[in-house]
Amino acid sequence: MKRIRFTLYSLVIGLTTLQAQVVLNSSMAPQPGSLLHFQAFDEPTAFSFEKSGQNLLWDFRGYPSHATDTVEYTDPANTPYPNAYPTANLAVTMTDGIGYIENNDAQELLLGVVGDPGNGVQPMPFYPAMPLFDFPYTYGSQMNTTSQVRVKMDGASFGMPGTDSVKYHMTLTTIREVTGWGTLVLPDATYEGALLESSKTIQVDSAWMKVVFLGWIPAPGYPQTTHDSSYRWLTGEMLHPFAEVNYDENGLQDGVTFFKGLNVGAANHEASPPDLTVFPNPATSQLTVLTPSAWQWTTVRISSMDGVSRDYHVIKETDSAVKIDIQNLPAGCYVVQLLGEGHRSGQRRLIKL
């Protein structure tokens, strides 16, 4: 079965004065259409930093790095499952799925996600909704939360073909605290008053299988418990971490990423007429692209977020839909682009699970 992993989405507000820590409120959520680019250190263990205190200095310059994740914020109405989370007013698309967020004056809540637990892409609400932040949130603030995802699937999807049904619960507990503030220096910019947040996550995976005459009994090998931890830097520029250091279950530093750039509105560029349809999205094995009938379309191209072409299909005049096998495409974020006569084009973001 595919493990379910989620990332918390951190939100921050602008600086009030120099040499003062930022304070989080609900007003600075990224605008729909914001596309965030990140870099990762080639050798994450080479980076060391102060983990607590005031007026600290964190310098990310001088470390070899490469392009990594791209994160998109969007209007939930433009996602495949808006009706599953009717109170969401923001959605975030990452390599492992879509998160649905409710932002209000008092709190930021993660209502749930859309992903593939092993038996197909589906909405997976949190019970209860997971608080990301209680506002205001600043130096010294703490958050302790526990939420659960519940999924029911057939035994074959879970890897137990002889079992009729399986219930899977993932319980996620997070313990977070802002332990420091100071100056964050990235290769392209310097941010005064940045916050440093420590985060510890405990994930407990539980499963039960339905057996004839016995009913629901614990599945072999469950429950399973994993521990993850990280540090995140929050600046006054945008409501998203600008740098992050992750640790594995043994406490070893195994990932360092930092903010590289922002495109606003790029994710909303669409074909004219605006009826370009790509489904399912997220997708696992096959993708269907419906071609608008107003013009003659010639090509479907799938590219990675760095612009490298990964797949290319010629459209016949009689085609109203193009089916594309994407089983061999690595999981991640892609751009599906439709090209036509007269330099017309349209594109949609695609999540490959």
Which is nearest to 36 in space by CA: 191, 257, 256, 198?
Answer: 257
Range among 88-102, 150-164, 285-299 with highest mean pLDDT value: 88-102
Which is nearest to 69 in space by CA: 46, 43, 92, 103?
Answer: 92
What are the tokens at 32?
């729909």
Instruction: For residue 63, give the amino acid letter.
Output: Y
What CATH fold (topology level) applies to the domain 271-352?
Immunoglobulin-like (2.60.40)
Q: Is 215 exposed, middle or buried (0-12, 13-18, 19+ CB in 10 A)?
A: exposed
Euclidean distance between the first and the last CA atom of the chain, given in angstroms as a whole number: 13
Contacts of 8 (CB under 8 A, 6+ apart): 110, 130, 132, 174, 176, 199
pLDDT tens, residue by residue, 214-250: 788 888 889 999 999 999 999 877 778 999 999 998 8
Alpha carbon distance 267, 12 (integer Å): 22
Q: Are 169 and 222 in contact (CB under 8 A)?
A: no
pLDDT the model gives residue 264 = 57
Mean pLDDT computed over every residue of the chain: 81
pLDDT tens, residue by residue, 44-84: 999 999 999 999 999 999 999 988 877 888 888 878 788 99
In the chain, what are the domain boundaries?
A: 26-138+180-194+232-266, 271-352
pLDDT level of residue 159 (50, 70, 90 thresholds): low
pLDDT level of residue 94 (50, 70, 90 thresholds): confident
